[in-house]
């Protein structure tokens, strides 16, 4: 680091301390970079990287499991699994679990060796030793885990139970852990309850609707749909107080303090200055009337129509009134184009705003007929047949 700074910076612009700096005067007036921080809301002059926050991946049944396996295997085993953005836990829908695990096995075999392709992180133990040590510790912590594939420098595990402590662990070893989910909401609730802090990153694999839904409700600092940028895996975690740029960890703006200088006055400033310098108060009165004038009415669609539920209620009352004269038969039908938004028939979260046309019902009168008697027991009144 010393040699790199000497060649990149002027020697008068930096100094290397032989011990941690404790002087509060220096720390309060300088920009502090902490790449192993545990602060989720750092101070304004801190560039804190929450590297201990976990990274999650969700593989939905609408996804291309082969593409998802390829992205996740490359991200987990890259650089010996040492990247903070490597997925710590993969949540897989139960309908595609077997296909996904088989695709992971195939991709792991194609990759052969994460250390040989990407190389182990400098200064860290080899992948083989970290795999063996991690796997031994994981088996002691959870005897129910299943080993899908194990190589000298990579291992894929399935965690079958929710009570496993391994679901709460962040690892720096090339170990890909998978767990089964039943629905999108199951994945969202699991991630929400796993940590109080936002996830460092979330990778969502599925169709665009699923990706949008998960990115909206999974609390993560950054979300990627059907992709994991390889440049994201290089370097420390991105500073928590700034938006994530996959290609750049530290930008010039992060080390810049705003000191604005205005040359020309704005139109509002000129108008107020003219009012304050006027001899009479007519200009000020006009300005006040303009400020207090009501806002222009928004253009809205004409209302006054009867809603679907009120229409259903009125039809029901009308049916009861006609019961003594002409029995009628109703069928509550759900229009195909009025289904609630559902990427693939999962239970959705209330209030998400992801509805195509709302959960609306239309009562259709199939027909009136004058019948002497309905062959439904001894009832003589109208019959309402419902179908959900």
Burial bucket for residue 252 (CB in 10 Å: 0-12, 13-18, 19+): exposed
DSSP bridge pairs for 157:
147, 177
pLDDT at position 126: 57
Token pair listed for 340: 């609630």
Strands (E), the chain: 32-34, 46-48, 55-59, 89-93, 146-150, 155-158, 175-181, 201-205, 223-225, 328-333, 362-368, 383-386
What CA–CA distance (Å, rounded) separates 340 from 343? 10
Tell me, what DSSP letter sits at residue 238? P
- Torsion sign (Cα): 253, 18, 124, 132: negative
DSSP assignment string, 117-178: HT-PPTTS--HHHHHHHHHHHHHHH-TT-EEEEE-SS-EEEE---TT-GGGG----SSEEEE
What CA–CA distance (Å, rounded) separates 324 from 327? 7
Residue with token string 């959870």: 142
Q: Which of 141, 179, 174, 142 is nearest to 159 (CA)?
A: 179
Q: Which of 142, 65, 73, 71 is nearest to 97 (CA)?
A: 65
pLDDT digits (tens, 9 = 90+) for 98-122: 999 999 999 988 876 544 544 554 5
Q: Which of 44-48, 108-112, 232-236 has the lowest mean pLDDT?
A: 108-112
pLDDT tier at 295 (50, 70, 90 boundaries)? Answer: confident
For residues 57 and 91, the answer to whether their CB atoms sit within 8 Å is yes
Q: Is the pLDDT of residue 345 over 70?
A: no
- 5: part of which helix (H) or strand (E)? helix 2-8
For residues 240 and 221, the answer to whether their CB atoms sit within 8 Å is yes
pLDDT at position 225: 97
Q: What percent of the chain has pLDDT over 70?
A: 73
With a CB cutoff of 8 Å and minimum separation 6, the contacts of 294 are none
Pairing of strands 32-34, 155-158: unpaired
Q: Of 117-121, 215-219, 285-289, 316-320, where does the model show the most confidence?
A: 215-219
DSSP bridge pairs for 224:
203
All structural domains of the chain: 19-48 (no CATH), 55-239 (3.40.309.10), 308-345+352-386 (no CATH)
**Which pTM does this prediction carry?**
0.68
pLDDT at position 334: 44
DSSP bridge pairs for 204:
58, 225
Q: Is the pLDDT of residue 339 over 60?
A: no
Burial bucket for residue 294 (CB in 10 Å: 0-12, 13-18, 19+): exposed
For residues 174 and 114, the answer to whether their CB atoms sit within 8 Å is yes
pLDDT tier at 58 (50, 70, 90 boundaries)? Answer: very high
């Amino acid at each position: 680091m010393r040699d790199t700074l000497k060649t990149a910076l002027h020697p008068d612009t930096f100094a290397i301390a032989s011990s941690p700096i404790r002087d509060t005067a220096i720390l309060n007036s300088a920009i502090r970079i902490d790449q192993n921080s545990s602060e989720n809301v750092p101070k304004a002059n801190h560039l804190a990287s929450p590297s201990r926050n976990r990274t999650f991946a969700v593989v939905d049944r609408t996804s291309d499991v082969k593409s998802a396996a390829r992205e996740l295997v490359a991200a987990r085993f890259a650089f010996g699994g040492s990247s903070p953005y490597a997925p710590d836990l993969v949540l897989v829908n139960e309908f595609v679990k077997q296909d996904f695990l088989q695709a992971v096995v195939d991709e792991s075999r194609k990759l052969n060796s994460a250390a040989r392709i990407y190389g182990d992180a400098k200064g860290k133990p080899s992948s083989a030793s970290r795999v063996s040590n991690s796997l031994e510790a994981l088996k002691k912590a959870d005897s129910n885990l299943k080993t899908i594939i194990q190589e000298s420098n990579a291992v894929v595990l399935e965690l079958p139970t929710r009570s496993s402590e391994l679901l709460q662990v962040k690892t720096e070893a090339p170990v890909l852990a998978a767990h089964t989910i039943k629905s999108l909401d199951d994945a969202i609730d699991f991630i929400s309850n796993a940590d109080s802090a936002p996830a460092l990153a979330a990778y969502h694999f599925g169709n665009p609707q699923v990706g949008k839904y998960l990115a909206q409700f999974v609390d993560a600092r950054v979300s990627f749909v059907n992709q994991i940028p390889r440049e994201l895996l290089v370097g420390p975690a991105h500073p928590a107080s700034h938006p994530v740029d996959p290609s750049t960890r530290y930008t010039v703006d992060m080390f810049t303090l705003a000191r604005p200088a205005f040359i020309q006055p704005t139109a509002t400033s000129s108008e107020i200055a003219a009012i304050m310098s006027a001899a009479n108060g007519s200009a000020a009165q006009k300005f006040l009337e303009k400020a207090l004038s009501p806002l222009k009415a928004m253009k809205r669609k004409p209302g006054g129509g009867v809603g679907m539920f009120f229409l259903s209620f009125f039809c029901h009352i009308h049916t009861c009134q006609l019961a003594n004269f002409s029995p009628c038969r109703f069928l509550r039908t759900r229009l195909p184009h009025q289904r609630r938004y559902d990427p693939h028939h999962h239970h959705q979260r209330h209030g998400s705003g992801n509805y195509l046309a709302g959960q609306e019902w239309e009562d259709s009168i199939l027909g009136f007929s004058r019948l002497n008697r309905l062959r439904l027991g001894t009832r003589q009144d109208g019959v309402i047949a419902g179908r959900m």
